[in-house]
Structure 1
Amino acid sequence: MHRRPSDATNLLVRYATDHRDPRNIATHMVGIPLVVFSLGLLLSHPALMTLSTAWGPVNLTLTALGWLLSTLWYLSRGLPGLGLLVSAFNGGLLCAATLVLSEIDGSGLEWGLAALCLGWLCQRAGHYYEGRKPSARTDAHALLIAPMFVVAEGLFALGRLQGLKADIERQAGPTRLRNLAMPAG
């Protein structure tokens, strides 16, 4: 079966190529959610428009618009079940950010920047173990693929999507601990 270069499997294989050390993957399981959460904090102000609903006013923000557009992107990658789970994962993090914003004073800029920096530092630490620079620096698509990678890795750990895991490992290689005394290869 011929796959499009932008289908979920090919995107995950490309991302996984730079993420084979389990320590790097573990740091991404913390860092990527922090980055998504930070985007929820940073993009929630100002409201683009306010909609009147039966439940009261609802603000349309860049966070909501970004979530909607990314959901459409995830659902169009050829694995709709995974796309739904990634969208739910991102949506949960963005809702959590909205709840945090409702409890703090101000725009959340400081909290958003702190979460973004912490998430980035977690990933940077992981790439030390990997011996490779972060993909987001070389590929803007990596910003969309990273949450999909985190959700897929979580599902793999639960024994799900083993066919997808096998495809990724066949093409990107198995996970392995890099000997830190040796140069990256």
Structure 2
Amino acid sequence: MKSLEEWFEEYGESHQNPINQKIHKVAVPGIFFSVAGLLWEIPSSHFSDIAIAPYFIVLAMVLVFYLVLSFKAFVVMAAFSAFCTMVLVELQSANIDILVLSIAMFVVLWILQFVGHHIEGKKPSFFKDVQFLLIGPAWVFHFFFPLTPHDNA
């Protein structure tokens, strides 16, 4: 399995352009949030009077992925995930249509991502390996909270 540093190095190869990097710093966390919002809207299943929310099952699997890569990445992504969860709770309390908001954010932010990659002149990394969809958020946060021993995000 690749180390987080190796993932970042490979991801960074197609994210050298400063404009593409700026787009990613906004769009990637926004896409993460929008996917969380989409998952949030999937109804819970009930087994023997126990409610199981797909949102939390997927979130647990994603956080295990980060934990296997790096404890620091796990902590940062767990904190961001907790923030996303709190925002979703507040949006739900305010009767805001999370599904519509999430779909709109997802579409607009992915369009921005593809604009960034057009400017970069390179295809998005996830075309090579779908795991890059989870590496992207950690890579963005690495700019603000170094997650590897070498600060070469």
TM-score by length of 2: 0.85
1:31-60 CA distance string (max 9 Å, x none) = 1111111112111121134998xxxxx964
Tell me how far 1:163 sits from its aligned partner.
4.1
CA offset at residue 151 of structure 1? 0.8
Q: 2:16 matched to which residue of 1?
A: 20
Counterpart amino acid of residue 68 in structure 2: S
Matches within 5 A, 1:1-185: 4-5=1-2, 7-44=3-40, 45-49=42-46, 60-77=52-69, 79-104=70-95, 108-155=98-145, 160=146, 163-166=149-152
Distance, in Å, in 2 between the alignment partners of 1:83 and 1:48 is 27
Name structure 2 gaps, 5 residues minimum.
Answer: none
By percentage of residues, which structure has more helix? 2
Q: Which secondary structure does the structure 2 equivalent of 1:133 belong to?
A: coil
The SS at the match of 2:15 is coil
Question: Identity of counterpart residues, as a percentage?
Answer: 23
Q: Judging changes above 3 Å, is the alpha-carbon distance between structure 1 residues 126 and 50 closer, same or farther for their aligned structure 2 residues?
A: farther
Aligned residue type for 1:93: C
Task: Please say if residues 45 and 51 of structure 2, whose CA atoms lie closer than 8 Å, have aligned partners that are also in contact.
Answer: yes
Determine which structure has more spread, i.e. the larger CA radius of gyration. 1
Note the aligned Cα RMSD (angstroms).
2.5
Between the aligned partners of 2:32 and 2:54, the Cα distance in structure 1 is 13
Distance 1:165 1:51 in 2: 49
- Which 5+ residue runs of structure 1 have no aligned equivalent? 53-57, 169-185
Total equivalences in the alignment: 152
Q: Secondary structure at the match of 1:147?
A: helix
Counterpart CA distance in 1 for 2:55 and 2:109 is 18
